[in-house]
Structure 1
């Protein structure tokens, strides 16, 4: 079994779409640990605030199969196949970490390169995995969150 972390966001009917997305994830993965949900301003465009959270789970699937399954869940819950990068989302699910895998797969960097750049990713990640280490820089997610807090004023609100 591989431990994975997923970043989830929605700003279109977020309560409905996140709940439905979590139900879909429960059918694919085991031992889900779900962070609190945070409200964050949209990034890269003017739009409704996003509901963001992180889920830890375990899987026997390969990294390619996980990526495929996540895209299918997004499409099943209303995400257009050719969505613009910075746009409203019914459901956005990003694979943040796949065990301690470091590398590029299918155009994706693992671990996801923006884990320590966005408070809406790092805060919920450190909520459920404060002592886990970033596989590249070796720092705990709690340490990374504390470092981020000295540089920015987080605009996150607990939902």
Structure 2
């Protein structure tokens, strides 16, 4: 009887575990938007899909992960930028909010972690929001001068 239960439970939980383990890499079309130059990384932000990944050469070395970009009236700027300032424990004086692992790339816009659910709310005030876990994992892969390429539009914006 115990063997039957173990087999039955394995059949129930195995598909869910396999679905979580599956990684969806950027499509060829997405890769055309964001090209890495040699061994230097580039952070790729696809606002259409609300995803971010890092390319080094022709390889994806991080992600893709889900992000949240700018809401209506506060759209995230598109283009190719470089990270000009990083602050691991940043606090926004404008919005009185934490911005862990902040990496500024365009004016006041930054890649940074947020606490809570990225799917809730209408979007950021122009920043590229990641989960704190993903922002922490991204941190050691980038530095001042790393390129950030942003394209597309947040759905519904």
TM-score after normalising by structure 1: 0.23
Q: Larger Rg: 1 or 2? A: 2
Which structure has greater helix proportion?
A: 1
Which structure has greater strand proportion?
A: 2
TM-score after normalising by structure 2: 0.23
